[in-house]
Amino acid sequence: MSVMATGKTDLGPPPLTVDDLKNTPDDGRRYELVDGRLDVSPAPIFVHSRVESRLTIHLGVVAPLEFEVISTPGINFNADRTHHRIPDVAVIRADVAESPYLTKPPLLAVEVVSPESAIRDHHTKRQEYEEFGIPSYWIINPDPALPSITELRLEDGGYREVATVTGENVLKTDAPFPLSVVPHWLVAPGGGWKRHIGGSDEATG
């Protein structure tokens, strides 16, 4: 004898989309989506904001005209708009800019690590950015004692670590365009960073 179950199945709440992010509070925290679920980061501390600002300025100065450097752009990773990330800094080609959110992989995504985001930046986002097809991914550790930049590049569908540069050493790369960055001058106090951040004694702007 067969038994037929009756009643309603509780499927739970529907997945969130970027439209739902309009209802999040303006409290300084970062609201992202992973498979329709909220992923919330604390408001960045000062050193995080310093690194993000200095890198955005520096990249903006040295970028050729066909590129655009953007701070904290929203990126939709799927057509359902249920997977939404906000890298700290990104570089795109100026002719593919989209509004209100990007839907294509930027040429470069940068994450500045905080204690709360270490696993997310080194593992979760690394895998997501890899699968989305972002050609270059930088992970910046803003530790004032020994700041570092790790450069990853997409090769054969996976990220390969190209370089990790620390302190006053210079990261030199040609992706997404030729540039140099000194980790120390992303975090060092004072105004001297403008002169030294590119690894020379000449001001960048």
Q: Does 150 map to a domain?
A: yes
In a domain, 139, yes or no: yes
In-domain check, residue 3: no
φ, ψ dihedrals at 89, nearest 5°: -145, 145
The domain of 102 spans 27-196
* Three-class secondary structure of residue 142 per DSSP: coil
Q: CATH number of the domain that 171 lies in?
A: 3.90.1570.10
Residue 205 lies in a domain: no
Q: What is the pLDDT of residues 33-70, one digit of tens each?
A: 999 999 999 999 999 999 999 999 999 999 999 999 99
What is the tally of structural domains in the chain? 1
Mean pLDDT over each residue of the chain, to the nearest integer:
93
In a domain, 111, yes or no: yes
116 vs 22, 44, 98, CA distance in Å? 24, 10, 30
Structural domain includes residue 60: yes
In terms of DSSP H, where are the helices of 17-175? 46-62, 118-119, 125-132
Q: Does residue 21 fall inside a structural domain?
A: no
Token pair for 35: 């498979």
Residue-wise pLDDT for 161-197, tens only, equals 999 999 999 999 999 999 999 999 999 999 999 999 9
